[in-house]
Amino acid sequence: MGAVRDVLRRPLGHFTERTLAGLALVLGAGVGFGLVLVLVRVRWSPLYDVDHGLARWLNEQISPIGPLVTVLNAITDLGGRPVIIWLITVAVVGFLIRRQGRLAVFLLVTGAGALILDLTLKTLVDRLRPEVEVSIGTYAGQSFPSGHALGSMVAYGALLLVFLPALAPRWRRPAMVLVGTVVFLIGFTRVALGVHFLSDVIGAWLLGGAWLGVTAYAFRLWRLERGRPVTPLTQGLEPEAAHEVAPAPDERELLPHPRAAVAEIVVGWVLVCGALYGFGMFVSYYAQDTLLATWDEVVPIWFAERGTPLLDELSWWWSKAGDTHAILLISLVFCPLVLAVWRRWRPVLFVALVMFGELTLFLASAAAVDRPRPPVENLDGPMPTSSFPSGHIAATCCLWLAVAVIVFPRTDRWWRWVFVALAVVMPVGVAVSRMYRGMHHPTDFMGAILLTTLWVGLLYWVVRPNEDLRQGNRPAIGSEDVGALDDELAEAARPV
């Protein structure tokens, strides 16, 4: 019985020793944040002078340099809520798919707590934003603390702790430095863009560090209660889950002959662009007195004569399904899910090349053909690109066809046919909406179909996104597996 007590006391003693320094840091960060909060509330003169003086000086130095402002805005977006919410959501869904419920709960609690703290403190402190001579940044709400600085500290820090076990030991320290650099740069941009005071950012960092420390400490207590050994945080929160948190630990070879594949893709891109240019020039300038020219003349007028406010609204929403933001959002959700379910990089590479190639082919062919829009009212107003081919339709076709190509052979569930249907319905809906809104001719739609067929076909032949299935990797979602998925949260709640 004494030996058992010794065994139980040993991890508890190690846990206490290893966390004393961490607790001191957490307490120090909390005390530091409280001090900054008090100084901000009482408007302590030295802090007030530093905050306003630095805000004015940085605005004078940075506002005249347009490219620098663009770079700062790009960096600051990494700490915005859309990016943070996407990162946390994708990671949580991935961990649930991989049956890592504890890590999913950690990310949810940590992220939600940071959001609540940010909104609550902003309301309580009610500090006004800096007043600078030249406004170069956009903002909403109160100033203290900086939501971007707080969110980046908590989100990137939590993701680092979760994914550290998937990194080789030699890469863990560089990863910590990289995350620290990103968090620092995001905080710096908030001051440099004139949307926050220095004390807003410092207070956010201290609060974020304290909250992250509290949640990490609670997770380690959770591990101790479950009888798992307590390890240094430099090894991550759950070292035993290294295989599960790695995006694609089973990947051995991305492409068998990468140099040949790159050459084939480049040559194929040129040929596809040439085909688009030839077809676009023909239908735009040399197809008079043909059936194609008749369609291009009759169809836009037919749609324009049947316009109604309701159809205008419906077509606007359906057209948005093919714009850059919607396509990017779907891609950024689908690719992490592919990694979580099938643990393969090649399908992700396939989707990335499909969408990058579609964008470059569209821009190149549109600039070369330079076709005017249909001679009817253009409901979307002037556009920066020409009419041929339709970028909305081509992006929609490429994305949903690529999704169907990857999903269909990887599961025998009935819902795989949904993706086949989406690969047909979504492009047709976007095409009808774009022609209804007077933005494209029918042959612009044909150009998008030509682009999709040639480009996706080429990449399917070169990349072979489903090669792992041929090599024996069975679909991860089968009819016999769905009812047997283990609920990690429920399992963790059972008494032991």
| pLDDT value for 490 | 39
Buried b vs exposed e over 433-460: b needs ≥16 C-beta within 10 Å? bbbbbbbbbbbbbbbbbbbbebbbebbb
Closest listed residue to residue 200, CA positions, set 66, 79, 73: 79
Query: Is residue 217 packed enough to be buried (19+ CB in 10 Å), middle (13-18) or exposed (0-12)?
Result: middle
What domain range is 31 assigned to?
7-245
Q: State how far the Cα of 453 lies from the Cα of 225, in Å rounded to an integer.
A: 56
DSSP 3-state percent helix, strand, coil across the chain (nearest 5) = 75, 0, 25
Please check whether residues 198 and 171 belong to one and the same domain: yes
Total domain count, the chain: 2
- Does residue 428 share a domain with residue 344? yes
On whether residue 477 sits in a domain, the answer given is: no
- Structure tokens given for 106: 């950690």
Quote the pTM value: 0.77
Q: What is the pLDDT of residue 126?
A: 72
How far apart are alpha carbons 222 and 215 in whole angstroms?
10
pLDDT for 340 = 83
What's the pLDDT score for residue 250?
A: 58
Domain boundary among 245, 268, 286: 245
Count CA atoms closer than 13 A to 244's CA, side-chain side.
20
Beta bridge pairs of residue 477 = 411
Q: Is the same domain home to 24 and 137?
A: yes
Residues 309 and 352 in one domain: yes
225 and 267 fall within a common domain: no
Are 193 and 320 in the same domain?
no
Per-residue DSSP letters for 368-396?
HH-PPPPSS--TT---SS-SSS-HHHHHH
Q: Same domain, yes or no, for 346 and 391?
A: yes
Provide the pLDDT for residue 483. 38
pLDDT of 270 reads: 94
Residue 250 lies in a domain: no
326 located within any domain: yes
Task: Give the domain-ending residue among 197, 220, 245.
Answer: 245
From the list 258, 392, 260, 417, the residue with the least C-alpha distance to 318 is 392
Flag whether 321 is in a domain: yes
Do the Cβ atoms of 306 and 435 come closer than 8 Å?
A: no
CB-CB contact of 444 with 400 (8 Å):
no
Task: Tell whether 136 is covered by a domain.
Answer: yes
Whether residue 100 is contained in a domain is answered as yes
475 lies in a domain? no
In a domain, 252, yes or no: no
Is residue 212 within 8 Å of 154, Cβ to Cβ? Answer: yes
Question: Cis ω on the peptide bond leading into residue 130 (within 30° of 0)?
Answer: no
> What whole-number distance in Å separates Cα of residue 347 and Cα of residue 430?
25
* Apex 378 CA angle, 376 and 384, nearest 5: 125
Query: At what angle are helices 442-463 and 291-305 packed, to 10 degrees?
Result: 110
Helix (H, G, I), strand (E, B) or coil at 411: strand
Q: Say yes or no: 398 and 296 in one domain.
A: yes
- Of the three residues 203, 222, 245, the one that is the final residue of a domain is 245
Helix (H, G, I), strand (E, B) or coil at 471: coil
User: What is the token pair recorded at 82?
Assistant: 């859309």
Q: CA 212 from chain center: how many Å?
A: 22
Q: Are residues 144 and 262 in the same domain?
A: no
Give the Cβ contact number of residue 31 at 10 Å.
12
Among the listed residues 419, 396, 382, the one whose alpha carbon sits nearest the alpha carbon of residue 324? 396
Q: Residue 252: its pLDDT value, please?
A: 62
Instruction: List residues bridging with 411 in a β-sheet.
Output: 477
- Confidence at residue 30, expressed as pLDDT on a 0 to 100 scale: 58
Phi, then psi, of 477 in degrees rounded to 5: -120, 100
Q: Are residues 199 and 292 in the same domain?
A: no
Contacts of 345 (CB under 8 A, 6+ apart): 247, 248, 251, 254, 339
Shared domain for 238 and 287, answered yes or no, is: no
DSSP 8-state symbol, 139:
-
Q: What is the pLDDT along the chain (496 residues), one digit of tens a residue?
A: 444 344 344 444 444 444 444 455 555 655 666 666 666 665 666 766 676 777 777 777 776 777 887 888 888 888 888 889 888 988 898 888 888 888 888 898 888 888 888 888 777 777 777 776 666 766 766 777 888 888 899 999 999 988 888 888 888 888 889 999 999 999 888 888 878 778 888 888 888 888 888 888 878 777 777 777 777 777 777 777 777 777 776 556 677 777 888 899 999 999 999 999 999 999 888 888 888 888 888 888 898 888 888 988 898 998 888 888 888 888 888 988 888 888 888 899 999 999 999 999 999 999 999 888 888 888 887 777 788 888 889 999 999 999 999 998 888 888 889 999 999 999 999 999 988 888 888 999 999 999 999 999 999 999 888 887 776 665 445 443 333 333 433 343 344 3
Same domain, 206 and 278: no
